[in-house]
Amino acid sequence: MPPLPTVPLPPRAEPAVGSTAAAKRFYDAMRTRRSVREFSDRPVERATIEAIVRAAGTAPSGAHKQPWRFALVTDPAIKKQIREAAEAEERETYANRMSDEWRAALAPLGTDADKPYLELVPAIIVMFRVDYDLDAEGERSKNYYVQESCGIALGMLIAALHDAGLATLTHTPSPMNFLARILERPKNEKAFMLLPVGYPTPDCTVPDLDRKSLDEILTVASG
């Protein structure tokens, strides 16, 4: 396959406040991001979700294969199915699959198998990883670095949700095969992340936790 033609890099205006100030401003916005389990029933416009998914879709990916698919769920009956299936898997996980070490790590966060918010939220986004593409004749085309590519896109999705004033929670009931079944996704798509999306309740609370300091997450290499 010949190389793609090249085009000029799209113009990007440098921030008037300077790069460092802009980076700090972004950090100040993102530091308020929290995983939320108390959602209001306030509607979320579909156009908002579509713009957010478009932003996530700009993520870099292995060989530019863009190995992701996002499913938007707003139908109450489907949300109910997802909740029931997710809770069934979570009950089994908490009872039989979870190690004592894992259970101890989760204890301070107060999580359990009950997921009522999956029905209460106005929207659910399910992100699927696409392990290979299928053409009209059913021929396979391999995708590369699928997990890494989807992880990058997921991070951008979460940042875009937060920037739009929405809250979410990364939820990974395991196994997640029920999501492909309920949402009737093809065999080349596997559920990667389940995200309830909405506005937090006015009295929403979250665990009082600390994040690692810069010194704990950044190492500066020196020659």
Residue 44 within any structural domain of the chain: no
- Asked if residue 43 lies in contact with residue 145, where contact means CB atoms within 8 angstroms, the answer is no
Residue 131 within any structural domain of the chain: yes
Average pLDDT, the chain: 95
Residue 17 within any structural domain of the chain: no
Amino acid at 49: I
Q: Say which CATH number the domain at 173 has.
A: 3.40.109.10
pLDDT digits (tens, 9 = 90+) for 16-60: 889 999 999 999 999 999 999 999 999 999 999 999 999 999 999
* pLDDT (0 to 100) of residue 16: 86
pLDDT digits (tens, 9 = 90+) for 128-178: 999 999 888 888 999 999 999 999 999 999 999 999 999 999 998 788 999
DSSP string across 1-63 = -PPPPP-PPPP-PPPTT-HHHHHHHHHHHHTT--B---B------HHHHHHHHHHHTTS--BT
pLDDT at residue 83 tops 80: yes
Structural domain range at position 193: 50-199
* pLDDT (0 to 100) of residue 129: 98
Amino acid at 162: H
How many domains does the structure of the chain reveal? 1
pLDDT band at 201 (very low <50, low <70, confident <90, very high): very high
**DSSP H or E stretch at residue 141:** strand 140-142
134 compared with 82, residue with greater pLDDT: 82
Residue 185 within any structural domain of the chain: yes
Rounded to whole angstroms, the Cα distance separating 48 from 200 reads 16
CA triplet 69, 201, 183: central angle to 5 degrees?
A: 25
* pLDDT (0 to 100) of residue 171: 92
Residue 54 within any structural domain of the chain: yes
Residue 42 within any structural domain of the chain: no
Picking from 131, 132, 96, 88, the residue whose alpha carbon sits closest to that of residue 113 is 88
pLDDT digits (tens, 9 = 90+) for 167-200: 999 998 788 999 999 999 999 999 999 999 999 9
β partners of residue 132: 142
* pLDDT (0 to 100) of residue 50: 99
Residue 79 within any structural domain of the chain: yes
Residue 205 within any structural domain of the chain: no
